[in-house]
Structure 1
Amino acid sequence: MKVVIIDYGAGNTKSVQFACNRLGFEPLLSKDPEVITAADKVIFPGVGQARNAMNMLKTSGLDNLIPQLKQPVLGICLGMQLLCRSTEEGNTKGLGVFNVEVKRFSNTVKVPQMGWNTILNLESNLFEGIKNEAYMYLVHSYYAELCEHTIAQTDYDLKYSSALRKDNFYGVQFHPEKSSTEGAQILKNFLKL
């Protein structure tokens, strides 16, 4: 099976690659549209600022390619947020796969949310073998609102989408590659879809 991690300059690609290696997979790091299109599974990670990341996607033409992918795609953290319609971070238009807006947490809580929190109301085979209220590792200042695509929620000042799904696209706000055995199981579930 050919697994590709999109390497567009705004991802924590190495930690995701190592997590896949621990599961027995040898993913390629690439921003080549032909390599990405030919993959069986695509992982779209991201850390950093949304506008800068979108600019990097546009520079390489990946902003047009990613929403057209037909194989299973997993957006992680900023990767998930960029799959949404828009984000308040830098007033940035997203890729529009998930019809939801990404908003900033209010100043009534510590921002960014950093550390372990639970995922609730799990509604997908992505979470096979994962118990409700499993702990995942998160680092983020912006969140996707609850919507028709929500397949897991987290509570931090309010309930928000910690995972989304539409057709072949999945997104997780947490970092499965940093979330111990449960995170590894979610990554394994995705790679076995």
Structure 2
Amino acid sequence: MSTDILTQLQTTYDQLLTQFFSTVSYLSQRHPLVAPEPDPSDPYTNPPAVHAQAVQTPTATNPDGGSAQNGGLLPGPEDTDRSVYPLRPASAGTFESAQRELAEDLVAKAQQIEFLISRLPGIGRGEDEQAREIRELVERVRAMEVRRKTKRKEMRETLRKLDGVVLGMAQSVDYEEEEEEEVSNAGHDGANGTVAGV
């Protein structure tokens, strides 16, 4: 039973790791883009006026087909064309709903792991009680080992007796066949002598 629980626990841990990876992947690839706070001393935080107007037009859409949000930002080519994991921002409502669902799944899986751990043998027992149970189990194993050795001796003795019986039967069968052959040969010799005498 404990082996089965350990197997379930290992499987559940593997599933939790997969869920963590999927959650981080979703959050890193589907989060809405947020413009950085403008820094007058850093020209790269203020996009060029032409690009900003093109991006902030109402017709600009994100890869999911919705309009660009959070200041009208869209991912650049470094996040889409050349990226192994392309950035595809989701709408704020969709993203928040997915975040909540992913968090609930992680909590449910963690509760399943906690339940399996609570069913492991020895949980909730003191050290003295566990040591006493181990001593009892050791004594039972020793007693079983003595019984096993006794049964092995009995088995070997029975096997030796059985070999003796089988070999005895084989020898008696061979002896009877030899006697029959001798009687048969003697009969043929007598018959041959009679015929020769006539």
Query: Please, what TM-score do these two structures have when normalized by structure 2?
Result: 0.23
User: Which has a greater percent of strand?
Assistant: 1
Select the structure that is richer in helix: 2
Larger Rg: 2
TM-score, length of structure 1 as denominator length: 0.23
